[in-house]
Amino acid sequence: MQILDGKALAKKIEGNVTNEVAKLKVQTNSTPGLAVILVGQDPASQAYVSMKKKACDRVGFYSVTHEMPEDISQDAIENTIAMMNQNQNIDGILIQLPLPPQIDTTKILELVNPAKDVDGFHPYNVGRLVTDLDGFVPCTPLGVMQLLNEYSIDVKGKNCCVIGASNIVGKPMASLLLNANATVEVCHIFTDDLKKHTLNADIIFVGVGVINLIKEDMVKDGTIIIDIGINRSDNGKLVGDVDFENVSKKCSYITPVPGGVGPMTIAMLLSNTLKAAKLNAQKKD
């Protein structure tokens, strides 16, 4: 069993981004800029945004966070997005989800300029992903593909079971795998007999937020496990969706939690923002 070390790869990618940022500053006299909208006081959202801000600082990005109260109006967020769309110094716009119930999340995501949609949630970029055209891909599944690539794990022809069908992880993960010629099954909350599907899988991708959902008797020997879940156990420890201690005994490769997919998500956000900055610099020329 080999650990897929997302932390080490993320550090390597950060180093590459830092070098590219320095080159971009010399060539175009511009600095990649990321703007974040953070609504309310959700501790998890605040922690994520803080981690993203620190990562931006490390690689030399300009970043700004628009902190808004929980009772913010739809119009106020829309106006802020319109302002950021027009701002030439902002290359990437990130809406920290979830948004409060009075906000129409779909409309907010659709208002972001697709060329600044570094989270890859705009329908334009979703469509380009599904049709295997270049665009911005959601950071977590993109990070998973980079991690597999780093360890020379080819998904072509492999039976891949994606558990979870969210717009943020499950659906884009399935699209990326299909684009790489994998055979893909998508399971979700209404799937009957999950074990039947996981036992047939060469690679299992799970990100639903259920502690110990994947158990030892649900995987065959030599399976590759990509644990995208992140949960806090009763004792306060961060854990994934896989019973790591027991499942890891049967795996050929497995991602740890923390230190697996999580760091890759932020690394891909940096990578996407750099890509947006380069495209923006070309337009200015």
Active site residue 119: yes
Catalytic residue among 91, 96, 117, 241: 96
Active site residue 52: yes
Catalytic residue among 91, 116, 117, 119: 119
Q: CB–CB of 186/165 below 8 Å?
A: yes
Catalytic residue among 52, 116, 171, 275: 52
Where in the sequence numbering do the catalytic residues fall? 52, 96, 119
